[in-house]
């Protein structure tokens, strides 16, 4: 992006949207639906295997027209092309952003610094598949000749959230005679509980870290090393540890033979890496074929994002709607509500994807931002959330746009469970949009003093994403849908969605404080009075 870029708020489309917002902010969805009996159809799209209903948003055709103008004036098309071309669009780290290359077909060519990276991607995928097959078939044995029955992924952030989310999501497709666990927290409890009932002879550790220097992961990895060596001796490392990283020097220093390392590249951001070698635990769980169908799902959404006209482009529309609520309505959060138990870690996964990407306070040019950027992502699977936090979404004072995600078929058809589940999804979006008026409440015989309490204002916006079944392919599409929606938002907001400088300060301070909490003799503390007192309190005990 050139330094002569027009500030977002000075773009004609932005200003038109500000004026339009004033007109639409008090229009009710009840009105919008009454005015247009075809609204549900008009504002829904069926493509890439998804039915995307965005009719229950506080928009008109004019809103969409203006948001699409904003996309054009913001140069979204050029940004998309630049990403797919391998341009170094992560300007603060001078890196290309090429998670799309991770799922590119073998015959595609994507050039980074003069080299086609697609063959490298497939080399790693082939090595992963070979390894996964050997472990799953029992050819790869532990130090004492036993089969590997337990796989523990050690990683954090993008080296954990994608793998654990994908494992949970695709459990139905996974090896049920193997145990998969994920250790991320430096809190020793995480490691202790994950290994408590496991036999080291049957346990394989996948140490996943892009940098292989992350404090939490290296601490857990060394603990795992001690745990395995204590049970099986030093030789255990060769059969019980593999690494996923971009840093072969550190992998070798740790003692893992780089022949047992699966690499990736600096152009894969941690939070965009679940379909790289970071997905090794996923491949061990579901096998190479299902992993490959997951990649096809990602690829189908990539193609859609790259080629579909913006007015029918799912990630573009989702991204623009998110901008609409964050920057114009001032909505500070988005609730992710998957009506599928297998997606229980999906909101947590999206938290990193969206918040580490778009939680930024300056533009690409380093200018302070005057509009609201990345919202807080949070959520729980339905119907559990209905019995805890939905109250606030329905009747609280905050506007919380929600994404409802549902599947027409379930992997576990038990009586009428699935119909009940889906009936709840549909009813929630209906209740949020249309609410219940005071007249309706009164007509039910509610005493006057309770009427206000029982009123549902409605006009709470939702997207509904429906698809056939949760399969590896669907999961790939769903993740790519959000990746590209996040991209769209970042492009409009003129920010670098691919760096994460905001995580550094806390890491640096922790390294400074660590010796102060560990030292036997009282250290001289030079923090603020609160931090000093906290450290002293901890040390005393």
The interface with ligand F6P within residues 332-371 (CB under 6 A) comprises 356
**Separation of alpha carbons 87 and 94, rounded Å:** 9
DSSP 8-state symbol, 93: T
Closest approach of ligand F6P to the CB of residue 268, in Å: 10
Closest approach of ligand F6P to the CB of residue 269, in Å: 7
- Which residues pair with residue 262 across a beta bridge? 244
Helices in 74-113 by DSSP H: which ranges?
76-85
| Parallel, antiparallel or unpaired: strands 150-154 and 203-208 | parallel
Q: What is the distance, to the nearest Å, from the Cα of residue 347 to the centroid of all Cα atoms in its chain?
A: 7
The interface with ligand F6P within residues 146-175 (CB under 6 A) comprises 156-159
Give the binding-site size for ligand F6P (rule: CB under 6 A): 14
Would you say 269 or 375 has its CB closer to ligand F6P? 269
Q: The tokens 């049957």 sit on which residue?
A: 202
Closest approach of ligand F6P to the CB of residue 282, in Å: 15
Would you say 209 or 463 has its CB closer to ligand F6P? 209
Closest approach of ligand F6P to the CB of residue 87, in Å: 21
Binding-site member from 56, 95, 103, 210 for ligand F6P (CB under 6 A): 210
Residue 484 is a binding residue for ligand F6P (CB under 6 A): no
Q: The tokens 């609280």 sit on which residue?
A: 396
- The active-site residue, picked from 235, 387, 417, 512, is 387
**Six token digits for residue 108:** 């595609």
Would you say 156 or 421 has its CB closer to ligand F6P? 156
Is position 527 annotated as part of the catalytic site?
A: no
Helices in 463-528 by DSSP H: which ranges?
472-493, 504-518
**Six token digits for residue 348:** 């947590």
Binding-site member from 90, 203, 214, 341 for ligand F6P (CB under 6 A): 214
Contact map string, positions 494 to 523, toward ligand F6P, x by CB under 6 A: ------x--x--------------------
Is position 387 annotated as part of the catalytic site?
A: yes
Q: What is the dihedral of CA 440, 442, 445, 450, to 10 degrees?
A: 120
**Separation of alpha carbons 63 and 61, rounded Å:** 5
Question: Cβ-closest residue to ligand F6P?
Answer: 270
CB atoms within 10 A of CB 540: 6
Closest approach of ligand F6P to the CB of residue 115, in Å: 23
Would you say 217 or 341 has its CB closer to ligand F6P? 217
Would you say 246 or 467 has its CB closer to ligand F6P? 246
Q: Which range touches ligand F6P (CB under 6 A), out of 133-141, 203-211, 255-263, 486-494?
A: 203-211
Binding-site member from 86, 163, 263, 270 for ligand F6P (CB under 6 A): 270
CA of 218: how far to CAs of 242, 354, 431, in Å? 13, 26, 48
Would you say 184 or 299 has its CB closer to ligand F6P? 184
- The active-site residue, picked from 168, 202, 216, 356, is 356
Residues contacting residue 498 through CB under 8 Å, at least 6 positions apart: 89, 90, 93, 95, 97, 269, 357
Rg (CA), the chain: 25
Binding-site member from 60, 74, 143, 209 for ligand F6P (CB under 6 A): 209
CB atoms within 10 A of CB 145: 8
Is position 521 annotated as part of the catalytic site?
A: no
Residues contacting residue 450 through CB under 8 Å, at least 6 positions apart: none
Residue 211 is a binding residue for ligand F6P (CB under 6 A): yes
Residue 251 is a binding residue for ligand F6P (CB under 6 A): no
**Six token digits for residue 151:** 């796989």
Closest approach of ligand F6P to the CB of residue 374, in Å: 15
Closest approach of ligand F6P to the CB of residue 217, in Å: 5
3-state SS string over 207-233? Answer: EECCCCCCHHHHHHHHHHHHHHHHHHC
Smallest CA-to-CA distance from 375 within 392, 394, 398, 400 is with 400
Q: Please report how many Cα atoms fall inside a 13 Å half-sphere around the Cα of residue 476, on the Cβ side.
A: 27
Closest approach of ligand F6P to the CB of residue 270, in Å: 2
The dihedral sign for the CA sequence 62, 64, 69, 70: positive
**Residues classed as catalytic:** 356, 387, 507
Question: What does the binding site for ligand F6P look like in residue numbers (CB under 6 A)?
Answer: 156-159, 209-211, 214, 217, 270-271, 356, 500, 503
């Amino acid at each position: 992006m050139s330094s002569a870029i027009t500030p977002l708020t000075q773009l004609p489309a932005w200003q038109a949207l500000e004026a339009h917002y004033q007109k639409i902010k008090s229009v009710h969805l009840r009105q919008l639906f009454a005015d247009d009996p075809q609204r549900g159809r008009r504002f829904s799209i069926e493509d890439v295997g998804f039915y995307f209903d965005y009719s229950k948003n506080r928009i008109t055709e004019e809103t969409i027209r203006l948001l699409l103008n904003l996309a054009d004036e913001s140069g979204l098309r050029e940004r998309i092309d630049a990403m797919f071309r391998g341009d170094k669009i992560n300007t603060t780290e001078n890196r290309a952003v090429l998670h799309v290359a991770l799922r590119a077909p073998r015959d595609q060519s994507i050039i980074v610094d003069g080299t086609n990276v697609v063959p490298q991607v497939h080399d790693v995928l082939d090595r992963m598949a070979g390894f996964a097959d050997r472990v799953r078939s029992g050819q790869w044995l532990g130090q004492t000749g036993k089969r590997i029955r337990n796989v523990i992924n050690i990683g954090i952030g993008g080296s954990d959230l994608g793998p654990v989310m994908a494992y949970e999501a695709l459990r139905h497709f996974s090896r049920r005679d193997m145990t998969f666990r994920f250790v991320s927290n430096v809190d020793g409890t995480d490691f202790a509980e994950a290994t408590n009932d496991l036999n080291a002879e049957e346990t394989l550790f996948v140490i996943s870290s892009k940098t292989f220097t992350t404090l939490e992961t290296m601490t857990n990895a060394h603990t795992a090393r001690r745990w395995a060596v204590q049970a099986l001796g030093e030789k255990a490392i060769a059969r019980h540890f593999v690494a996923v990283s971009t840093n072969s020097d550190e992998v070798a220093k740790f003692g893992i033979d780089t022949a047992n390392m699966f690499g990736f590249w600096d152009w894969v951001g941690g939070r965009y890496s679940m379909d790289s070698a970071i997905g090794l635990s996923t491949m061990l769980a579901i096998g190479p074929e299902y992993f490959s169908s997951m990649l096809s799902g990602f690829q189908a959404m990539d193609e859609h994002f790259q080629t579909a006209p913006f007015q029918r482009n799912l990630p573009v529309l989702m991204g623009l709607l998110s901008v609409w609520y964050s920057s114009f309505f001032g909505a500070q959060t988005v609730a992710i509500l998957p009506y599928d138990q297998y997606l229980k870690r999906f909101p947590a996964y999206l938290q990193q994807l969206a918040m580490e990407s778009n939680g930024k306070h300056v533009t690409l040019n380093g200018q302070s931002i005057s509009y609201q950027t990345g919202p807080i992502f949070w959520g729980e699977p339905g119907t559990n959330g209905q019995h805890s936090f939905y109250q606030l979404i329905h009747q609280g004072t905050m506007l919380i746009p929600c994404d409802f995600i549902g599947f027409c078929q379930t992997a576990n058809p038990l009586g009428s469970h699935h119909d009940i589940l889906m009936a709840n999804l549909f009813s929630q979006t209906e209740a949020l949009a249309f609410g219940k008026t005071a007249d309706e409440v009164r007509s039910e015989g509610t005493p006057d003093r309770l009427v206000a309490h029982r009123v549902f204002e409605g006009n709470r916006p939702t997207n509904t994403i429906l698809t056939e079944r949760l399969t590896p392919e669907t999961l790939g599409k769903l993740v790519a849908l959000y990746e590209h929606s996040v991209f769209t938002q970042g492009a409009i907001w003129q920010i670098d969605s691919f760096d994460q400088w905001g995580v550094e300060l806390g890491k640096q301070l922790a390294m400074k404080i660590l010796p102060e909490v560990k030292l036997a003799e009282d250290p001289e503390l030079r923090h603020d009075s609160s931090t000093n007192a906290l450290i002293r309190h901890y040390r005393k005990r």
